[in-house]
Amino acid sequence: MIQRRNSAVESLYLNRLEDYLTGEIELPASRLNKRPPGIHQSDLNDNSCILKGYYANTLEELPPMGVETILRFATGRFWERGVAFSGELEPKQLDRIWVTPDDYHPDIGISEIKHTISSSLSDVRTDFPQWVCQMKNQAYVFEEDHVNLIVMFVTGNTASFAWDRGNMPKGTRYRGVAFIAWTFEFTEAELEDNWKKMVERRDLLESSINDEIPIHRDIVLEQLPCRLKKGGKKSYWMCEKNSLGEPRCGYRDICYLKKELIK
């Protein structure tokens, strides 16, 4: 995998935003399409919860979103749709897995657009493995040899997360906001290995949905993100409550595993 910062891509997007702010271009009102039914890459990506995919595909009615979830997701989606050159791209399905890139521009190809309250000092490969997995899926399914990652770090090189504060190396100059674009290139073997893993997870999820038996804890825990608390105890933050005291995951109240993970 090659990851290089791409200042040409940064300028392309920043110029677009400036053109918008000075009235040179209009951003069309954007409508988000309903997700096609079935299994999506987001159900299967690294650092995510595969059990959510089980509940999403077996419950008659999805649980309502909390206020914090609505606001955080909406901010990210406004940013993504505002900065993107293309309208929302048509999802493409391969091996019964839906994949949807965020943007396409004829000069630079497809891009994944992110908005985060994590620090710009984060290492994408280790701190956001789900983004890397997503980009590999897109490169594979859309037969591209590279994918751009466009990230708005809204808190710059600080971080809004309590556990991430204080990670700034001594002498680092404070930056209140950061906008970084990288271009990722993957080898064929990396893409094939990644897709093989996606198809294996799809098989697990499909049989779990068909049999209406939630996925086994050991499989869920292989992917579920966690951080270590003082004393080395694992904290599965995705299953915890958010800062407004609402479930961060909509399935928290019915999830069989949450009871084991959060005492």
> Minimum CB separation from ligand SF4 for residue 256, in Å?
8
Residue 19, φ and ψ in degrees, nearest 5: -60, -35
Residue 51 or 108: the one with the smaller Cβ distance to ligand SF4 is: 51
The site for ligand SF4, by CB under 6 A, has a size of 12
| Interactions with ligand SF4, residue window 240-259 (CB under 6 A) | 249, 251-252, 255, 257-258
Which of 39, 51, 141, 149 contacts ligand SF4 by CB under 6 A? 51
Residue 49 or 135: the one with the smaller Cβ distance to ligand SF4 is: 49
Instruction: Please report whether residue 238 would count as binding ligand SF4 according to CB under 6 A.
Output: yes
Residue 117 or 221: the one with the smaller Cβ distance to ligand SF4 is: 221
How does 224-247 read in b/e, with b if 16+ C-beta sit within 10 Å?
beeeeeeeeeeebbbbeeeeeebb
Residue 47 or 167: the one with the smaller Cβ distance to ligand SF4 is: 47
> Minimum CB separation from ligand SF4 for residue 240, in Å?
9
- Binding string, 176-215, against ligand SF4, x = CB under 6 A? ----------------------------------------
- Binding string, 104-143, against ligand SF4, x = CB under 6 A? ----------------------------------------
Which of 16, 52, 81, 201 contacts ligand SF4 by CB under 6 A? 52
Residue 107 or 218: the one with the smaller Cβ distance to ligand SF4 is: 218
> Would you tell me which residues interact with ligand SF4 (CB under 6 A)?
49, 51-52, 220, 238-239, 249, 251-252, 255, 257-258
